[in-house]
């Protein structure tokens, strides 16, 4: 299978990438790691007139903590997230997520920004970013704007609120509070497959052990990545005991919108969301209280 | 549709050519340069048969455009053998009988090479994870894991051939 014809342009700076996107508008697609886009081109499910290759923008590959925020360059490869000491030590939920994306060869090239901007409900980072309350930096001709992740995805699959002339350039995650932690769990048929279901959970506790922040994101159980808001509400103010975890897990399953497909019947996927939410919350609690 | 002149170093040798933007790297290697050691399996970046190294990192060459390789250094399975002597990975695959049909073998060896560069003494689990993006439908992977262990030891201790190996490839 060979892609349809297109023009190819290499961006040598972020400004050049944006100028190209501004020039070509909706006819252009950004080529980052390409592990979603190139298969789409090959199946002729996408036929953009122009590809803007951003792979040479090394200044978009970075991981750094500054001013209470983790800044991740949008072109950071999954392998670098997975291997980073900073990520493993301070943001284990991100390492959990990166290491279950596709397979190790794909992760050498695939990027965190592409995983988010492709807005595939089966991709893994969206749920984790929803749980973490991330902010995304969109850079366009007029400069940068910050988009809270819950406003980045729309009600449609494969759609974001990025404008055609904007590039996702950075992901910002609040540095972990003292008693906070999270986990991402993915049930998959085999390495390299999309999730049957995936759950990201993140919690912060106060000195008395009460939940001051709760985030739950769901992967591949609906037309978009899902933020399980009612389940989060149940957790707030609780002491995150087993009873409330069970209750929140049931609620998260109720907020999932799975359909029956080759990965299983909808009821099964809903049951898996419940189980995975329980496990993710328990692991989040363990990490928030100093465990692994 | 744009056409691009690219210059790519492959197995230490400079290749140049004009490629359509839409030409996939694996097609340029195989059809353009006749470097047919790199195989095409699933066409969808699932099977890993087309794995090569790009700037030292394993990449599925069916999911990269040829034009993206411009200015980069590639290593394909043809580059493993040096001066008529098999690479320890090739030797390991031979000695440990790590292939049956052989279709996955080039990609498997390139993924293993990338793994051993990063981790010269991997555990069995790390080997299995390292090749988890490469599918083999014949062997059940047991002998592939042994072959990579053989190569890992040979690369660490070139003088010591593993016991019972029969000293293949010498």
Q: Domain containing B17 — which CATH number?
A: 3.10.20.30
Domains of chain A: 7-53 (3.30.43.10), 58-174 (3.30.465.10), 180-286 (3.30.390.50)
Last residue of a domain, one of B79, B104, B132: B79
Q: Within this chain, do residues B65 and B39 fall inside the same structural domain, yes or no? A: yes
A102 part of contact set with chain B, CB < 8 Å: yes
Write the pLDDT tens digit of every residue in A28-67. 999 999 999 999 999 999 999 999 999 999 999 999 999 9
Would the pLDDT of B167 be above 70? Answer: no
Q: Is residue B134 part of a domain?
A: yes
Task: List, in sequence order, every beta strand (DSSP E) within A111-266.
Answer: 135-140, 143-148, 167-174, 180-188, 195-205, 211-219, 226-227
The β-bridge partners of A199 are: A185, A218
Q: Is residue B162 part of a domain?
A: no
Q: Is residue B50 part of a domain?
A: yes
A4 part of contact set with chain B, CB < 8 Å: yes
Q: Within this chain, do residues B71 and B98 fall inside the same structural domain, yes or no? A: no
Average pLDDT on B113-132 reads: 97
Q: Within this chain, do residues B27 and B72 fall inside the same structural domain, yes or no? A: yes
Structure confidence at residue B45 as a pLDDT band (50, 70, 90): confident
- CA-CA-CA-CA torsion sign (B28, A3, B103, A187): positive
Would the pLDDT of B166 be above 60? Answer: no
Cross-chain residue pair A108–B64, CB shorter than 8 Å: no
Would the pLDDT of A292 be above 80? Answer: no
Contacts of A129 (CB under 8 A, 6+ apart): A116, A136, A149, A171, A173, A217
- For chain B, where are the alpha helices, taking DSSP H only? 25-27, 88-95, 105-118, 124-130, 142-156
Rounded-to-integer distance, Cα B28 and Cα B50, Å? 12
Q: Is residue B118 part of a domain?
A: yes
Cross-chain residue pair B45–A38, CB shorter than 8 Å: yes
Cross-chain residue pair A2–B22, CB shorter than 8 Å: yes
B89 part of contact set with chain A, CB < 8 Å: no
Q: How many domains does chain B have?
A: 2
Contacts of B160 (CB under 8 A, 6+ apart): B153, B154
Q: Within this chain, do residues B38 and B100 fall inside the same structural domain, yes or no? A: no
Q: What is the pTM of this model?
A: 0.95
Cross-chain residue pair B60–A39, CB shorter than 8 Å: no
Q: Is residue B167 part of a domain?
A: no
The enclosing domain of B109 has a CATH number of 1.10.150.120
Structure confidence at residue B44 as a pLDDT band (50, 70, 90): confident
Give B-chain residues touching A31 at CB under 8 angstroms: 65, 68
Q: Within this chain, do residues B22 and B46 fall inside the same structural domain, yes or no? A: yes
Write the pLDDT tens digit of every residue in A131-189. 999 999 999 999 999 999 999 999 999 999 999 999 999 999 999 999 999 999 999 99
Nearest beta carbon to residue B133 from set A38, A55, A192: A192
Work out the percent of chain A whose per-residue pLDDT is above 90.
97
Q: How far does chain A reach from its first CA to its final CA, in angstroms? A: 45
Using alpha carbons, list the distances in angstroms from residue A67 to A34, A70, A98, A214, B94. 32, 8, 24, 22, 55
Structure confidence at residue A1 as a pLDDT band (50, 70, 90): confident
Nearest beta carbon to residue B22 from set A6, A35, A106: A6
What pLDDT, on the 0 to 100 scale, is given for residue B161? 57
Give A-chain residues touching B67 at CB under 8 angstroms: 8
Average pLDDT of chain B?
93
Q: Within this chain, do residues B67 and B105 fall inside the same structural domain, yes or no? A: no
Q: Pairing between strand A7-10 and A50-53?
A: parallel
Would the pLDDT of B163 be above 70? Answer: no
Work out the percent of chain A whose per-residue pLDDT is above 70.
100
Q: Within this chain, do residues B62 and B108 fall inside the same structural domain, yes or no? A: no
What pLDDT, on the 0 to 100 scale, is given for residue A154? 97
Q: Within this chain, do residues B113 and B138 fall inside the same structural domain, yes or no? A: yes
Average pLDDT on B69-92 reads: 97
Q: Is residue B164 part of a domain?
A: no
Structure confidence at residue B162 as a pLDDT band (50, 70, 90): low
A46 part of contact set with chain B, CB < 8 Å: no
Q: Within this chain, do residues B18 and B75 fall inside the same structural domain, yes or no? A: yes
- Contact between residue A131 and residue A213 where contact means Cβ atoms under 8 Å apart: no
Q: Is residue B166 part of a domain?
A: no
A212 part of contact set with chain B, CB < 8 Å: no
What pLDDT, on the 0 to 100 scale, is given for residue B160? 65
Would the pLDDT of A258 be above 90? Answer: yes
Domain range for B130: 88-156
What pLDDT, on the 0 to 100 scale, is given for residue B43? 80
Structure confidence at residue A284 as a pLDDT band (50, 70, 90): very high
Last residue of a domain, one of B47, B79, B111: B79
The β-bridge partners of A143 are: A140
User: Exposed/middle/buried for B13, CB within 10 Å: 0-12, 13-18, 19+?
Assistant: exposed
Chain B residue closest in CA terms to A39 = B44
- Contact between residue A140 and residue A163 where contact means Cβ atoms under 8 Å apart: yes
Last residue of a domain, one of B35, B59, B79: B79
Q: Within this chain, do residues B107 and B68 fall inside the same structural domain, yes or no? A: no
Cross-chain residue pair B133–A191, CB shorter than 8 Å: yes
- CA-CA-CA-CA torsion sign (A170, A175, A176, A177): negative
Structure confidence at residue B137 as a pLDDT band (50, 70, 90): very high
Write the pLDDT tens digit of every residue in A180-229. 999 999 999 998 899 999 999 999 999 999 999 999 999 999 999 999 99
- Contact between residue A280 and residue A184 where contact means Cβ atoms under 8 Å apart: yes
What pLDDT, on the 0 to 100 scale, is given for residue A44? 94
Q: Within this chain, do residues B19 and B73 fall inside the same structural domain, yes or no? A: yes
Q: Residue A132: phi, psi to the nearest 5?
A: -80, -15
Write the pLDDT tens digit of every residue in A4-17. 999 999 999 999 99
Would the pLDDT of B168 be above 90? Answer: no
Would the pLDDT of A274 be above 70? Answer: yes
Q: Within this chain, do residues B62 and B95 fall inside the same structural domain, yes or no? A: no
Average pLDDT on A117-130 reads: 98
Closest CA to A199 of A53, A69, A100: A100
How far does CA A250 lie from the centroid of its chain? 23
- Contact between residue A187 and residue A178 where contact means Cβ atoms under 8 Å apart: no
Structure tokens at B143: 């002998």
What pLDDT, on the 0 to 100 scale, is given for residue A275? 98
Q: Is residue B165 part of a domain?
A: no
């Amino acid at each position: 299978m060979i892609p349809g014809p297109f023009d190819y342009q290499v961006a040598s700076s972020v400004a050049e990438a944006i100028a190209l996107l501004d020039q070509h508008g909706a006819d252009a697609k950004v080529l980052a790691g390409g592990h979603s886009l190139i298969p789409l081109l090959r199946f002729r499910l996408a036929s953009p007139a122009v590809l803007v290759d951003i792979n040479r923008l090394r200044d978009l590959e970075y991981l750094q903590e500054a001013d209470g925020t983790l800044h991740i360059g949008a072109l950071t490869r999954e392998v670098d997230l997975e291997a980073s000491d900073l990520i493993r030590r301070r943001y284990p939920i991100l390492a959990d997520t990166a290491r279950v994306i596709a397979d190790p060869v794909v992760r050498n090239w695939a990027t965190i920004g592409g995983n988010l901007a492709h807005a595939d409900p089966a991709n893994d980072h969206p749920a984790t970013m929803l749980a973490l309350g991330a902010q995304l930096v969109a850079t366009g001709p007029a400069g940068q704007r910050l988009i809270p992740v819950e406003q980045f995805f729309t009600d449609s699959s494969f759609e974001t609120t990025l404008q055609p002339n904007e590039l996702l350039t950075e992901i910002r995650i609040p540095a972990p509070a003292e008693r906070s932690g999270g986990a991402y769990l993915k049930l998959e048929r085999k390495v390299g497959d999309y999730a049957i279901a995936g759950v990201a959970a993140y919690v912060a506790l106060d000195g008395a052990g009460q939940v001051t922040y709760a985030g739950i994101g769901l992967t591949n159980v609906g037309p978009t990545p899902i933020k399980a808001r009612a389940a989060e509400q149940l957790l707030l103010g609780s002491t995150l005991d087993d009873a409330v975890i069970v209750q929140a897990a049931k609620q998260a399953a109720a907020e999932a919108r799975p359909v029956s497909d080759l990965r299983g019947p909808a009821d099964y996927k809903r049951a898996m969301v419940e189980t995975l939410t329980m496990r993710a919350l328990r692991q989040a609690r363990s990490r928030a209280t100093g465990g692994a | 549709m744009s056409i691009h002149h690219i210059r790519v170093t492959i197995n230490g040798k400079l290749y140049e050519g004009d490629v359509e933007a839409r030409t996939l790297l694996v097609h340029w290697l195989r059809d353009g340069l006749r470097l047919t050691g790199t195989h095409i399996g699933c066409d969808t970046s699932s099977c890993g048969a087309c794995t090569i190294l790009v700037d030292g990192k394993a990449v599925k060459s069916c999911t990269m455009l040829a034009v993206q390789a411009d200015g980069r250094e590639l290593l394909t399975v043809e580059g493993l053998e040096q001066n008529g002597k098999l690479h320890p990975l090739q030797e390991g695959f031979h000695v440990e009988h790590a292939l049956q049909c052989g279709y996955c073998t080039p990609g498997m060896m390139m993924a293993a090479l990338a793994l051993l560069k990063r981790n010269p003494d991997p555990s069995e689990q790390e080997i299995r994870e390292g090749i988890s993006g490469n599918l083999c439908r014949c062997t059940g992977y047991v002998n592939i894991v042994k072959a990579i262990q053989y190569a890992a030891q040979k690369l660490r201790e070139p003088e010591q051939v593993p016991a019972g190996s029969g000293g293949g490839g010498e």
